[in-house]
Structure formats: structure tokens, C-alpha cells
Amino acid sequence: MDIDKLFKVPKLPSGAAKRRMPANPTPDMLKRMKFDTPTEEPVAPSPPVNKGKGRAVTVEDVNEDEDEDGNFAPGGDADYFAEEDEDGRFFGGGLTDEQKKILNIFDSSGAEGAQDDPEEMNITSIRRLLLRFERAVSKNQDQRSKYPNDPTKFIDSESDLDMALKSLLPLAQAPALAYPELVRSGTVVKLVDLLTHENVDIAIDVVEVVHELTDEDVGDQIDENEEGESKEETLKVLIDALELALRNIVKLENQIFELLVQNFGRLDEAQESDRQGIFHTLGQHNVVSRSVGIFENLVGFSPALARTIVNKTTILPWLLNRITSKTYDENRGYASELLAILLQNDRENRLEMAKHNGVETALKVLSQYRRRDPPTADETEFMENVFDALCSALMEPEVKKAFLHEEGVDLMVIMMKEKLLARSRSIKALDHALAGPAGAPNCEAFVEALGLKTLFSLFMGKSKKQKSASPVSEDTTHVLGIMSSLFTNLASDSPPRVRLLTKFVESDYEKVDRLLEIREHAEGRLAVTNQEIEREKKELLEEGEEVGQDEEDLWYLRRLDGGLHILQTVDYILGWISMEDDGIRGHAQLMLGRKNKSLRDIIQVLIQFRDNIGDEADVIRGDDDAPPQKMILQALVDFLEGC
């Protein structure tokens, strides 16, 4: 056996032969083409040039830069060698001269219905587009009325209408010119009317157009213009024009919201095109980031529209029904996202959710994650959206009662015990459910459901492995909020309150030590924030600027985010346990003394807390007999000052 033959590299086909292949070979040509392979016998040297007519002519006489017809490259591909790299590999486009000429014609003149760049779009071209659209609408309506039972008579006009609708999409790139003209010409009304078109595809086209016109990124490409106006000034003009258009869009007589929701019932999500129609109404999916659709766009421009959408349509029941689907899909995710947006800042919408058994629906949906994690990132976001909607609704006393009636506290306690993704969200939901005087019944239910054991287990966590400089997690923040609500709402000397206080006594006051550890870390964060604020204040004063109440309010909010909120909550809890148990108070004083601190430091924080609550915070819905927060803080301050 000849080992050299085994490892002999096969001879590659010549570059000239490969490059002489036409740009668009036929299948038969590819089947007939065969490459030569090396044989086991030694290859004879090539004959002299003057003795052979075959191989010698092919190798020596053919220029690799030209084919047999003398063309620059196979098929007339002008980019063939321009795209060749250093190693001789080629990445030609594979287009013939004729094909390239056709593409160049299209590039230079534009296909039928194509529009110029936004910078070149003027009021004349916009009006021409709108006029073409109006003519397409009129022609289609006329032919449908004349031949209602013969689709062959109006199918061409329907195709023209489809093209006319799609030609309106570029208007979103020139909103300053296009949007006022849209309103003035009455095109908005015609668009809304087409939502009821017999052809669902036309209605889907309208949804796509409205979605594009109301997209949150409208105007982002605007730079400083030739007149010297800044981008902000230009955008203000665009936003004003857009708001003018939106005010006309949402007029009650146009009924765009009702028509959009009615279209949900017409669309069959089993069909891909109809499913895409719902995509454009609720939002467009992207793996990395998701932009929600028309409803969110409108609410983003005017938050007050959230109430209008819920009051004037059946969108809320539709959304609640949609999120109960057994299997996850993108539209289910969009429904949960829109639900969370509609409930975010509107009390009336939250109460409306409760009227439609929304709390029960949300708990049923979330219960499927008490034993398992969502399998995908999209479904995880869906779960978080439902939790967010529930937390927003739990701001209202009426929803707190429904939450207790539907055994929401018990479900959240079960989720807290499991080491799953839903644990953190359940802690947040409990923080909202137990807060305020209306949360008192939920506080009692929490203790009865044996929630204290799990709560303090999470509170202690891995504290022995943590350093005092480690950041406080979001879970710990909500755990502290739950403790604060328990001390506020549980009746004095009641069995639930005694059980709560006992947790701070057991194991040599380890929970008190954990509170002081969190307090020390919050003080460190707050010190850094205060230094930044003092530096900014000094710079303003040096520049001759006045520091008013608005600046002070903003700085106070920064302090809350920079550790003050955690510090206030911890000191509130320390104040309660120090007042109710002498042993806890003595241990706290001892540990504070080791850090050169005292109860006076806690008193100062509580006084600042009291002074910044505001009188409006004392008027809390849900229980008129409950003592106001200011009164509770003043009582704690008075007791600690007497120690």
C-alpha cells in the first residue's frame, strides 16, 4: 500500500473553468457538469504549448478576467471581481447585465406607488397620495354597491385600495407636513370607516397604517433643519401636529376604539394574516424589545385616553379573556402588556377590572406558575405583565377586598415558599395587598396562612455570607414593606401581632441585627447621594441660580431612591419593636452604640419622614377610623424621645 497516495490532496478544478459558469445556470447544465478527479496513477506533465490543442489552450490562452465572449465577467456581473478578496474567493452578485439594468431602472425611477425620501416629500406629493387614496376608496365603494354579488367586478378596485393604503405608510416619516393634511382632508375619517370593510384584509391594512402613524418613534430621525431650529423645537411642532391628528382620530363619532375592538371578533387567529392583524393592533413582536401597538401609542401621547378606551369599548373583558388562553402565544403576551398599561395610573380602570372579575382571572392565570417556571423568556414577560396589572389594581381598597375573597393571599404565600421566578413577584404583590388601612384583613390572613415563617426566612436569607456593603435587593425592600404594613395594621395585643413580635425576639434578636445591618448599608448609600446633591447645589449657587422648592423636591426624591426610603422603613420598624419590647430596645441601643449611633439617629429619620408625608397622605381611602400616618410617626417619636 502506498501511504503517499492515501494522503494525496485531490486536485481542485481550475479557477477558469469555475468562473466560466454562467451567472444563471440551468438545472440541466448543473447536472451535466462534472469535475475531474485525480487518479491513482501519477499525473503526466503538461505537453508543450505547440503540441496540444486541448488542455494547453485552455490553461494558457484563456484570460481568467474574460470569458469566451470577451465579457468582463461571467454573465456581465460588473461586481464580480470587485467583490473578490485577497485569497481569490469571489462573492459576485450573480446577476446578468440585463438584470442589473432592470434593477437600476427601478432604483432610479422607483416602482409604481413608491414614494420619495421623507426629506424630499412635499405638500404636493402628500396631497397627491391622499387624493389617490380617496379615489381608490370611492371607486371600491361604487363597484361594491353596483355588483354586490359579483366579486370579479370589484376585485381590481380592492387591489388598488390595498396599494393605496400601503402607500400611506411613508407619511409617518414626514409627520409635520402629513398629519395636519390627514386631518384637514378627512382621510382620518375614511380610514376609520374602512375598519368595517367587508374584506378583513382591508381592515388589517388600516390597522397597520394607524399603527405606523401613531408609532412612538415618529420624528426620531429629525435633525437640525436648514432654518436653524433645534431638534427639540422641530419635534414640538411634530408632536403638536400629531396631537391635532389624534384629537380628531379619537373623536367619539369616529368610534375608532370601538371599531378596533370589534375587529378582534372578526379575526380568526388560526389564520396567519388575521393573527398579524391582531399583532398590529396590540403590538409588533421583537425578540429583544417589543413595541406595543395602537392602544399603547395613543395612551402614550395622552394618558387620559386609557379611561376613554376602557369606558367606550369592550377592550377590558376581551383582554381578560385573552390572557386566560391555555397555551402561550404572542397575542396573549400583547394582551397582558396592554392590560398592565391600562391599569397603571387610573383608578376607574382598576375598579372596572374588579367588576369584570379581573382579580379572579389574574389569580387563575398566575396559579399555573406556582409549581413551575415559564419555559421561555416571552412567557416570563407575560407572567410579569399579569403580576404588574394585579399590583396596580391592588392600589385600590375595593380590589384588596376582592383579593382576600379570592384567596389571593394564600396563593401568594404558596408562591413565596417555592424557589421559582414567581417568588419575587408574589412578594411584591403581597406588599401592595397588605399596605394601607384597607390591607388590615389581608395582614391577618397573611399571618393565618403561616406567611411569617416564609417571610422571615427570606428576610434573613444568606445574611451570614453577606457583607454590610452588599446592596439591598428588591425582594428585601418589599419584605420590609410587608413588615411595616403588619405593624401598622395588626391590632395591639392580638395573637397575630404577638406572633410577629416574637420573631424579633427569638434566636438572640438576630432579626434586629439584620435590620441594623440593612440600616447601616442604607446610610452609606444616602451619604453618597447627599454628597452629590450638595455638590450640585453648590454649583448652582456659584452660577447665580436660585434653589427653589422644585429643586428641593427633586432632590428629596433622589434621596428616597438613594437609600432614604429603605432607611425610613427600617427605622419605622425599629421604632415599633423598641416601643413594644424592652428587651429589643435594649439590644438595639447596645448594637447602635457600637457604631457610635443611638436612638436619636432613628428619631431624626422619623421626624424627617413625618414632615415629608404631606397632609394629603393622611386621607387614605378604605378606613376612615384608621389613625393617619403622621399621627403614628409622631407617637413613635414621642416614645423614643422619652427613652
Query: How do residues 519-552 score in pLDDT, each as one tens digit?
Result: 999 999 999 999 999 999 888 888 888 888 888 8
Instruction: Please tell me the distance from the alpha carbon of residue 535 to that of residue 561, in angstroms, as a whole number.
Output: 18
What number of residues does the chain have? 643
- Mean pLDDT on 19-27: 58
pLDDT at 7: 55
Find residue 283's DSSP bridge partners: 292
Nearest of 174, 161, 330 to residue 245 by alpha carbon: 174
Top-confidence residue, 89 or 384: 384
Those residues with Cβ within 8 angstroms of residue 349's Cβ, 6 or more apart along the chain or in another chain: 306, 307, 310, 316, 342, 343
pLDDT-derived band at 77 (thresholds 50, 70, 90) equals low
List phi, psi (to 5°) of 583: -65, -40
Those residues with Cβ within 8 angstroms of residue 192's Cβ, 6 or more apart along the chain or in another chain: 206, 249, 254, 255, 256, 259
Q: Which of 135-139, 179-183, 431-435 has maximum average pLDDT?
A: 431-435
Query: Is the residue at 427 inside a domain?
Result: no
pLDDT at 340: 92
Instruction: Please tell me the distance from the alpha carbon of residue 545 to that of residue 536, in angstroms, as a whole number.
Output: 11
Query: Is the residue at 450 inside a domain?
Result: no
Is residue 291 predicted with pLDDT exceeding 50? no
Radius of gyration of the chain (CA): 36
pLDDT-derived band at 124 (thresholds 50, 70, 90) equals confident
Is residue 8 predicted with pLDDT exceeding 50? yes
pLDDT-derived band at 221 (thresholds 50, 70, 90) equals low
Is residue 473 predicted with pLDDT exceeding 50? yes
Between 45-49, 382-386, 610-614, the lowest mean confidence (pLDDT) is in 45-49
In this structure, the answer to whether residues 170 and 97 fall within a common structural domain is no
Query: Is the residue at 456 inside a domain?
Result: no
Instruction: Please tell me the distance from the alpha carbon of residue 259 to that of residue 193, in angstroms, as a whole number.
Output: 9
- Mean pLDDT on 182-194: 78
Query: How do residues 318-354 score in pLDDT, each as one tens digit?
Result: 889 889 887 777 878 888 988 998 898 889 999 999 9
pLDDT at 432: 96
In this structure, the answer to whether residues 104 and 220 fall within a common structural domain is no
Residue 397: CB atoms within 10 A of its CB come to 15
Instruction: Please tell me the distance from the alpha carbon of residue 485 to that of residue 233, in angstroms, as a whole number.
Output: 47
Instruction: Please tell me the distance from the alpha carbon of residue 100 to that of residue 26, in angstroms, as a whole number.
Output: 19
Query: How do residues 453-465 score in pLDDT, each as one tens digit?
Result: 999 999 998 534 4
pLDDT-derived band at 197 (thresholds 50, 70, 90) equals confident
- Mean pLDDT on 76-91: 50
Nearest of 445, 478, 444 to residue 565 by alpha carbon: 478
Q: Is the distance from CB of 362 to CB of 322 less than 8 angstroms?
A: no
Cα 320 from chain centroid (whole Å): 19
In this structure, the answer to whether residues 158 and 195 fall within a common structural domain is yes
Instruction: Please tell me the distance from the alpha carbon of residue 314 to that of residue 254, in angstroms, as a whole number.
Output: 16
In this structure, the answer to whether residues 154 and 269 fall within a common structural domain is yes
CA distances from 503 to 235, 358, 375, 486, 577 (A): 57, 35, 37, 13, 11
Query: How do residues 430-450 score in pLDDT, each as one tens digit?
Result: 999 999 999 999 999 999 999
pLDDT at 547: 80
List phi, psi (to 5°) of 284: -110, 130
Q: Report how many domains make up the chain.
A: 3
Those residues with Cβ within 8 angstroms of residue 555's Cβ, 6 or more apart along the chain or in another chain: 533, 536, 537
pLDDT at 6: 55
Q: Is the distance from CB of 38 to CB of 4 less than 8 angstroms?
A: no
Among 272, 293, 314, which residue terminates a domain? 293
Mean pLDDT of the chain: 75
As given in the structure block, the three cell numbers for residue 237 are: 411642532
Among 242, 272, 293, which residue terminates a domain? 293
- Mean pLDDT on 273-290: 41
In this structure, the answer to whether residues 581 and 499 fall within a common structural domain is yes
Query: Is the residue at 567 inside a domain?
Result: yes
pLDDT at 620: 44
pLDDT at 64: 45
- Mean pLDDT on 282-309: 54
pLDDT at 238: 45
In this structure, the answer to whether residues 225 and 85 fall within a common structural domain is no
Nearest of 398, 408, 327 to residue 362 by alpha carbon: 408
Is residue 608 predicted with pLDDT exceeding 50? yes
Query: Is the residue at 448 inside a domain?
Result: no
As given in the structure block, the three cell numbers for residue 514 are: 439584620
Q: Is the distance from CB of 320 to CB of 359 less than 8 angstroms?
A: no
Range(s) of the domain holding residue 544? 495-618+626-641
As given in the structure block, the three cell numbers for residue 536 are: 450640585
pLDDT at 96: 63
Query: How do residues 371-419 score in pLDDT, each as one tens digit?
Result: 999 999 999 999 999 999 999 999 999 999 999 999 999 999 999 999 8
Instruction: Please tell me the distance from the alpha carbon of residue 473 to that of residue 222, in angstroms, as a whole number.
Output: 40
CA distances from 137 to 110, 143, 157, 253 (A): 24, 10, 8, 20
pLDDT-derived band at 421 (thresholds 50, 70, 90) equals very high
Query: Is the residue at 247 inside a domain?
Result: yes
pLDDT-derived band at 270 (thresholds 50, 70, 90) equals low
pLDDT-derived band at 220 (thresholds 50, 70, 90) equals low
Nearest of 608, 499, 625, 519 to residue 566 by alpha carbon: 519
Looking up residue 240, the CATH number of its domain turns out to be: 1.25.10.10
pLDDT at 113: 42
In this structure, the answer to whether residues 96 and 131 fall within a common structural domain is no
As given in the structure block, the three cell numbers for residue 445 are: 390572613
Q: Is the distance from CB of 359 to CB of 392 less than 8 angstroms?
A: no
pLDDT at 625: 62
- Mean pLDDT on 148-152: 82
Instruction: Please tell me the distance from the alpha carbon of residue 193 to that of residue 179, in angstroms, as a whole number.
Output: 18
- Mean pLDDT on 81-106: 56
Top-confidence residue, 483 or 297: 483
Query: Is the residue at 447 inside a domain?
Result: no
In this structure, the answer to whether residues 47 and 174 fall within a common structural domain is no
As given in the structure block, the three cell numbers for residue 136 are: 381608490
Query: How do residues 355-368 score in pLDDT, each as one tens digit?
Result: 999 999 999 999 99
Instruction: Please tell me the distance from the alpha carbon of residue 607 to that of residue 642, in angstroms, as a whole number.
Output: 15
Q: Is the distance from CB of 141 to CB of 123 less than 8 angstroms?
A: no
pLDDT at 51: 44
Query: Is the residue at 389 inside a domain?
Result: no
What percent of the chain has pLDDT above 70?
63
Is residue 487 predicted with pLDDT exceeding 90? yes
pLDDT at 194: 80
According to the 3-state scheme, what is the secondary structure of 34-95?
CCCCCCCCCCCCCCCCCCCCCHHHHHHHCCCCCCCCCCCCHHHCCCCCCCCCCCCCCCCCCC
pTM: 0.65
pLDDT at 615: 52
Longest dimension (CA), the chain: 120
- Mean pLDDT on 426-432: 96
As given in the structure block, the three cell numbers for residue 33 are: 457538469
In this structure, the answer to whether residues 261 and 136 fall within a common structural domain is yes
Between 12-16, 467-471, 534-538, 543-547, the lowest mean confidence (pLDDT) is in 467-471
List phi, psi (to 5°) of 286: -140, 135
Among 244, 260, 293, which residue terminates a domain? 293
Is residue 286 predicted with pLDDT exceeding 90? no
In this structure, the answer to whether residues 94 and 182 fall within a common structural domain is no
In this structure, the answer to whether residues 135 and 252 fall within a common structural domain is yes
pLDDT at 145: 87
Instruction: Please tell me the distance from the alpha carbon of residue 32 to that of residue 30, in angstroms, as a whole number.
Output: 6
Is residue 265 predicted with pLDDT exceeding 90? no
Top-confidence residue, 335 or 287: 335
In what helix (H) or strand (E) does residue 434 lie, and over which residues does it extend? helix 422-434
pLDDT at 52: 44
In this structure, the answer to whether residues 67 and 147 fall within a common structural domain is no
pLDDT at 65: 46
pLDDT-derived band at 261 (thresholds 50, 70, 90) equals low
pLDDT at 264: 53
